[in-house]
Structure formats: C-alpha cells, structure tokens
C-alpha cells in the first residue's frame, strides 16, 4: 500500500514525455485488479474547452510554504481533512495547476470518496485534456467504479501523450484483460517489468526471465503468475 500511495503523492516528478505535461508519479504496481464484470458502455471523457487555458507554472520550490509537501505531511500523520483543506485552497488559488487537482483527486480516492474524486478531476480534465497525472488518477477512479470503458479511454489518452509511460501501459493492460482483449492486454502487462517492483515471494529465484531467445537445448519453466486457490 505504501507503494500505491506514492503513485498519487509523487506526481511532481514526471517521466520523460513526448510533449510537456504536468508532473507524474514514480510508478509502482497498483492493487490487485478488481473482479471482472460486464463493462458498461463507453462514456465520453470530459470535453476540453476551446481554447484550453494554459497551465500556470508550478509553485516555486523555494517558497516558504509548499502545499504539496504540506499536504503530504498532513496525510502522513493521519490528518486527511487537513491535507484536503491545503489542496483545495491551493486549487482555488491556482486553478491552472492541474497537478494539484490530480493530487486532490488522488487523496479523495484514497478516502474512498470516489464520486467527489471523479468530479474534481473530471472538471480539471475538461480544461486540461492532456494532463497525464489527471488522466491516470481519473482512470483509477473509473476502474474502481467499474467504468472500465472510461478507464481504458483515460489510459489510452495518457499514452497518446506519453507513449513510454510504463504505469499507464500496465494499467491499460489490466483493464483490457477484464474485457477479454487478451493479446493486447498481455503485451501491455509486460510494462510491469519496468516498474521496479520485486517479484512475488513465491516466484522461483535465480532463474533468468525468458526474453524470446532460442530454447534449443534448454528447458523453459512455466510458473503461475497471479492466482490463488481455484484460479489454476
């Protein structure tokens, strides 16, 4: 869970991007995928205003008060209401800071206030449709609400902005598996190898991963990836 929280707290440091976007999180694998269900019809993502308003610069890192650090510290000590108040005040003062809206949405998500999180980030996405942190967090909220088609659309839009974003590829792969798009889903799930998380504790150790090389004269061990009793 500590790794999951860092996804939403660390959105100030983006991975390399094809186009300027707000900062993104140092990514780590999400919680286990939700139980499969029949996905609802695709929902349109919030439409962008024409023209979209440009984003204002992020708050000065040398300022006496850093709302990002202050909100993170408040949440770390269990003051969720205080963290929310800091982020809401900052969002009101800097409405063009899309990263703050993504952080506020992430906080509401962790508080299981999914409708509020979707409302905050949906409004911001209407003005900043290419903001990758917003797309990632909005997609996480949508998948938690079993709005799988909307989550897929969010992750695809994020990848249109940052094609190499491993976390977006991984999350998209999980959702595609839910709707039966197995070939693309399994290919995208390879992105988890780029996220730096250790393998599950029951995996074989000291055996290199097969990278597609010839197996002539060798043996290939096939090991259960995810699952539990009855999943085999």
Helix axes 132-144, 98-110, angle to 10 degrees: 20
pLDDT at residue 216 in the model: 93
Distance between CA atoms of residues 3 and 6, nearest Å: 5
- CATH classification (class only), 2-194: mainly alpha
Residue found under tokens 């962008």: 48
Query: 179 — phi, psi (to 5°)?
Result: -100, 10
Distance between CA atoms of residues 141 and 146, nearest Å: 9
In this structure, the chain runs to a length of 232
Give how far Cα 181 sits from Cα of 164, 173, 174, 224, Å.
20, 9, 10, 20
pLDDT at residue 231 in the model: 55
Instruction: Give 3-state DSSP helix, strand, coil % of the chain, rounded to 5.
Output: 50, 0, 50
Query: Between these two residues, 125 and 62, which has the higher pLDDT value?
Result: 125
Confidence grade of residue 5 (pLDDT, cut at 50, 70, 90): very low
Cβ(40)–Cβ(146) below 8 Å: yes
Tens digit of pLDDT for each residue in 170-222?
Answer: 999 999 999 999 999 999 998 988 988 776 777 777 778 788 899 999 888 88
Neighbours of 164 (CB within 10 A): 13
Distance between CA atoms of residues 53 and 205, nearest Å: 51
Residue found under tokens 């869970």: 1
Domain ranges of the chain: 2-194
Tens digit of pLDDT for each residue in 102-130?
Answer: 999 999 999 999 999 999 999 999 999 99
Distance between CA atoms of residues 45 and 155, nearest Å: 11
Distance between CA atoms of residues 68 and 26, nearest Å: 15
């Amino acid at each position: 869970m500590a790794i999951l929280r860092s996804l939403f707290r660390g959105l100030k440091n983006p991975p390399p991007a094809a186009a300027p976007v707000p900062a993104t999180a140092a990514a780590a694998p999400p919680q286990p995928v939700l139980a499969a269900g029949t996905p609802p019809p695709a929902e349109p993502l919030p439409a962008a205003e024409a023209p979209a308003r440009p984003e204002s610069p992020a708050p000065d890192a040398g300022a006496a008060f850093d709302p990002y650090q202050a909100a993170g510290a408040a949440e770390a000590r269990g003051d969720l209401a205080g963290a929310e108040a800091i982020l809401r005040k900052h969002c009101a003062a800097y409405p063009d800071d899309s990263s703050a809206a993504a952080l506020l949405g992430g906080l509401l998500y962790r508080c299981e206030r999914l409708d509020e999180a979707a409302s905050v980030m949906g409004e911001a996405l209407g003005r900043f449709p290419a903001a990758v942190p917003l797309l990632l967090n909005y997609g996480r909220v949508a998948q938690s609400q079993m709005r799988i088609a909307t989550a897929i659309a969010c992750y695809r839009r994020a990848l249109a902005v940052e094609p190499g974003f491993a976390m977006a590829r991984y999350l998209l792969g999980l959702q595609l598996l839910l709707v039966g798009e197995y070939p693309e889903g399994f290919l995208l799930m390879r992105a988890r190898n780029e996220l730096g998380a250790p393998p599950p504790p029951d995996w074989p150790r000291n055996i290199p991963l097969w990278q597609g090389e010839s197996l002539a004269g060798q043996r290939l061990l096939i090991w259960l990836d995810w699952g539990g009793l009855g999943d085999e």
